[in-house]
Amino acid sequence: MFRGGQKVLIIACADDPRAVGKTGRVLDEVPPGPLTEGRWTVDRISIWIAPVGVHMKVLG
């Protein structure tokens, strides 16, 4: 389970493929539901990449 503010590695991103392999911070405070198809919102990926919905795994 992920928490808001947690640093994560992005392993898949349909919104912006440039985000794959990069790290970011989780924005969501609650688990994602069916509206987001189970994807978490992640920000602080890059100055050129806006917040995206992704599937990811925890770092450390």
**Residues 3-58: pLDDT tens digits?**
899 998 888 888 999 999 999 999 998 888 888 888 889 999 999 999 999 876 66
pTM beyond 0.85, yes or no:
no
- Say what the pLDDT of residue 21 is: 92
Q: Which own/partner contact pairs does 52-55 have at CB distance under 8 Å and 24+ positions apart?
A: 52/10, 52/13, 52/15, 52/16, 52/19, 53/13, 53/14, 53/15, 54/10, 54/11, 54/12, 54/13, 54/15, 54/19, 54/24, 55/11, 55/12, 55/13
- Say what the pLDDT of residue 19 is: 93
pLDDT of 1 over the 80 cut: no
- Say what the pLDDT of residue 47 is: 94
